[in-house]
Amino acid sequence: MGPAHGRGIWHRAAHTLDSGFMLSSRFWRVALLGAVVPLLGVIPNRQTHAAAPASPRSGPASTPTVTQSLATNVLVATIAASEGDNAEAARTFTRAAQLAPSYRPFIERAFLYSILAGSPDAARLARQQPPGVVPELVMGNAAAVASDWAGALEHYEKAPDDPIMTIVRPLLRAWALQGMGRTDDALAALARAQGDRLLGGYYTLHAALIAEMGGQAMRADTLYRRALDMSGGDLFTTRVLTHWLYQQGKAAQARDMIAAKIASMAALEPARPALVAALGRPVVTTPQQGMAQAYGLLALLMDQQSAAETPPPKPGEGHREHEHDITTLRSTEQMMLRLSLMLDPANTEARILLSALFHAEDENQQAIDVLAEVAPTDPMAVVIRAEEGELDMTLGRRAEAERIIRGLLRDAPTDRTLWCDMGDIMLGQGKWREALSAYTHALALSGTLEGDDWRVLFGQSIAYDRLGDWKHAKAGLTQALRMAPNEAELLNDLGYSMVEHGDDPATAEGYLRRALALSPDDGQIRDSVGWIELRLGHVAEGLPLLERAAEQMPQDPAINYHLGVAYWVSGRRLEAVDAWQDAAQFHPDPPDQRKIAAALAYAASQAAAHPPAHATIPADLRIMPVAAPAPVAASPAAAGTAASPNPKTTGPDRPDGDTKDGAHK
Summarize pLDDT for 621-630 with one digit per residue, the tens: 886 433 333 3
Please state which of the ranges 247-261, 311-325, 520-534 shows the lowest mean pLDDT.
311-325
Tell me how many degrees the CA angle 541-542-544 measures, rounded to the nearest 5. Answer: 85
Residue type, 220: A
State the Cα torsion 53-54-56-60 to the nearest 10°. 170
- Across the range 76-96, mean pLDDT stands at 87
> Tens of pLDDT along 532-553?
999 888 999 999 999 999 999 9
Confidence check: pLDDT of 269 > 90: no
Give the type of residue at 316. Answer: G
pLDDT at residue 452 in the model: 79
Closest listed residue to residue 16, CA positions, set 292, 265, 239: 265
pLDDT in tens, 421-442: 899 889 888 899 999 999 999 9
Position 77: which residue type?
Answer: A
Residue 185 in contact with residue 177, Cβ under 8 Å? Answer: yes
Q: Do the beta carbons of residue 36 and residue 167 sit within 8 Å?
A: no
Of how many residues is the chain composed? 665
What one-character DSSP code corresponds to residue 47? S
Residues above pLDDT 70, as percent of the chain: 79
For residue 198, name the pLDDT band (cuts at 50, 70, 90).
confident
How far is it, in rounded angstroms, from Cα 429 to Cα 413?
21
Instruction: Specify the higher pLDDT residue, 35 or 239.
Output: 239
Distance (Å, whole) CA 461 – CA 470? 8
The confidence score (pLDDT) of residue 327 equals: 62
Q: What is the DSSP letter of 10?
A: T
Query: What 3-state class would DSSP assign to 590?
Result: helix
Strand partners for 663? 658
pLDDT at position 31 over 60: no
Q: What is the CATH class of 486-665?
A: mainly alpha
- Give the confidence band of 64 by pLDDT, cuts at 50, 70, 90: low
DSSP helix/strand/coil, 4: coil
CB atoms under 10 Å from CB of 611, counted, come to 14
Residue 17, pLDDT above cutoff 90:
no
Q: Mean pLDDT for the chain?
A: 81
pLDDT digits (tens, 9 = 90+) for 499-522: 888 898 889 999 999 999 999 989
pLDDT at 309 exceeding the cut of 50: no
Give the model's pLDDT for residue 71. 85
Give the model confidence (pLDDT) of 112-125 as tens digits: 999 999 999 999 99
The full set of domain ranges for the chain reads 13-54+63-307+320-348, 486-665
Of 209, 369, 351, the closest CA to residue 289 belongs to 209
pLDDT at 531 exceeding the cut of 70: yes
Looking at residue 24, its pLDDT comes to 37
Show Cβ contacts of residue 314 under 8 Å, excluding neighbours closer than 6 positions: none
Confidence of residue 306 (pLDDT cuts 50, 70, 90): low
CA distance 184 to 201: 19
The contacts of residue 609 (CB under 8 Å, 6+ apart) are none
Tens of pLDDT, residues 363-399: 889 999 999 999 999 999 988 988 888 888 888 888 8
Contact status, residue 122 vs residue 113, Cβ threshold 8 Å: no
Which band of pLDDT confidence, cut at 50, 70 and 90, is reported for residue 314?
Answer: very low
Q: Using CA atoms, how far apart are residues 286 and 35, in angstroms rounded to an integer? A: 29
Say if residue 635's pLDDT is above 60.
no
What is the H or E stretch that residue 208 is in? helix 200-213
Distance of CA 238 to the CA centre of its chain: 24
**Predicted pLDDT of residue 66:** 58
From 53-67, 240-254, 481-495, the region with the lowest mean pLDDT:
53-67
pLDDT range class, residue 333, cuts 50, 70, 90: confident
Residue 15 vs residue 54, higher pLDDT? 54
Mean pLDDT along residues 329-356:
91
CA atoms within 13 A on the CB side of 264: 17
pLDDT of residue 401: 87
User: For residue 339, is pLDDT > 90?
Assistant: yes
Cα–Cα distance for residue pair 200/218, rounded to 1 Å: 20
pLDDT tens track for 550-600: 999 999 999 999 999 999 999 999 999 999 999 999 888 888 899 999 999
| Averaged pLDDT for residues 177-195 | 96
At 444-498, the pLDDT tens digits run 988 788 777 899 999 999 999 999 999 999 999 999 999 999 999 999 999 999 9
CATH number for 13-54+63-307+320-348 (one of 3.40.50.970, 1.10.540.10, 1.25.40.10, 3.40.50.2300): it is 1.25.40.10
Fold match between domain 13-54+63-307+320-348 and domain 486-665: yes
5-9, 75-79, 551-555, 560-564: least confidently modelled range = 5-9
